[in-house]
A and B are shown apart, each in its own frame.
Chain A
């Protein structure tokens, strides 16, 4: 088997395992063991991943609008990963180079981090300021 196909299969298996674990944690009592946000408990503010669990739960249930409202950045990251994965599978199977700019690079992480930081500060301000 070609190296590229092996790499693709390994990546898909990793995503599959993560997906199965997520479904198991959500549908069992294991979700109660996810630690609570101390910033939320002490100060009533929202940290970077507050709402992330609810976003994933609603995404898996098909409530995409609710998932977007709970955590917009996580929702966009999930969509980005899905699209990139589909593009990667198509490129590997058809031996083409379609939209290779989507493939993750280290500076994409920096961009996502900055977006997440701005989003965190903005939604904390929005809660306590009447629009």
Chain B
């Protein structure tokens, strides 16, 4: 009888120990799952920053896309750098900053060096034809590299 009671106690102890081990395993699995989900969630900021940086750089022409995209890339890059995916966040941040700086530089160059005078002249189609016909005189007066200009502007 005593042996049977001892055996029953041993069985009970084993079963409680097994339960504790299983519970501990479940707890560690949950912690790992949480870590994985947090890593994939926070990497999203870095990926979004990089993608927006690429879009803002390529679509620099279209200011209503490039300016908001570059600002968003900068903000998401700053957030992403504090979390996972530091390299991608840095790339997005740098691209956003360079796009904004380039836009500002180009606008300043265009305004300061009076290029608007040339483009307003060229937007008139008759003046455009005269410009092409009198190419040599105009290129000498305005220091324009006409071959390069024609290669780029004429389709």
Task: Spell out A's residues near B (CB within 8 Å).
Answer: 35-52, 54, 69-70, 105-107, 109-110, 113-114, 116-117, 120-121, 124, 126-131
Select B143's contact among A41, A48, A120, A129, beta carbons within 8 Å. Answer: A129
Select B58's contact among A44, A48, A120, beta carbons within 8 Å. Answer: A48
Q: Find chain B residues with CB under 8 A from A54 CB.
A: 155
Tell me, yes or no, whether B54 is within 8 Å of chain A by CB: yes
Give complex CA distance A48, B91 in Å: 17
Tell me, yes or no, whether B1 is within 8 Å of chain A by CB: no
Give complex CA distance A100, B118 in Å: 48
Q: Say yes or no: A106 contacts B90, CB within 8 Å.
A: yes
Q: Find chain A residues with CB under 8 A from B90 CB.
A: 106-107, 110
What 10 A-B pairs are tightest by C-beta distance, nearest first?
A43-B110, A106-B87, A37-B61, A44-B119, A106-B91, A109-B91, A48-B60, A47-B60, A44-B115, A43-B115
Select A43's contact among B62, B88, B119, B145, beta carbons within 8 Å. Answer: B119
**Interface residues in B, total, Cβ within 8 A:** 44
Q: How far is the CB of A120 from chain B (nearest CB, A)?
A: 6
Give complex CA distance A45, B77 in Å: 29
Q: Say yes or no: B95 contacts A51, CB within 8 Å.
A: no
Q: Find chain A residues with CB under 8 A from B101 CB.
A: 117
**B143 to chain A: closest residue by CB:** A130
Tell me, yes or no, whether B26 is within 8 Å of chain A by CB: no
Give complex CA distance A70, B116 in Å: 23
Please judge, given known A-B contacts A47-B60, A116-B57, A130-B145, whether A39 and B91 are in contact too, CB under 8 Å: no
Tell me, yes or no, whether B59 is within 8 Å of chain A by CB: yes
